[in-house]
Amino acid sequence: MSSALLADKKVAILAASGVEQDELVQPRDAVRAAGARTVLVSVDGGVQDGKVRAMRSDIEPADLFTVEAMVGDVSVDDFDALILPGGAVNPDKLRLDEKAVAFVHDFVASGKPVAAICHAPWTLIEADVVRGRTLTSWPSLRTDLRNAGATVVDQEVVSDNGLVTSRSPDDLPAFCNKIIEEMAAGPHRS
């Protein structure tokens, strides 16, 4: 992968404490390796001492990550793409934050690439952006997605007009590759 492919791109990674570590780190490292700059964005209730605590399998504390911006202080116009890592606790915090939900809604509406893995589609549901879209997710969210108007499939990665979703950490290689592909293609316009 060329390190210059995404050289002019800036990516927001929206996460709160409870984020699944591999789902934060692997996509971040993949887009960085392709040349993009990343910014860890969070919400007021999801940060302690300027950091978010990642988890492994939702129960084992993992590393701390420094928050670079608060969601209320950034705009969709500041970024070229958005990554929503999972973990059950992380998207549950995000979907309760009005600014985070508005940011996700506006990002999807912009047509810029948005990537959500595992439990992260909960935030997409709260942002009311899944109706009429085809997505995948962790199995326990699939009924929620269908009830919100999405078509749900069981595939390692799905891309619907720039909205990229995957099921679990096992799907990270395909998820990361698709994020880079969508970012290189640029915004989708309906």
Active site residues per annotation: 118
What span, in angstroms and rounded, lies between the C-alpha atoms of 41 and 52?
Answer: 10
- Locate all alpha helices (DSSP H) within the chain, ordered by sequence: 21-33, 89-94, 98-110, 121-126, 142-147, 172-185
Q: For tokens 């209320």, what's the residue?
A: 72
> CB of 26 within 8 A of CB of 117?
no
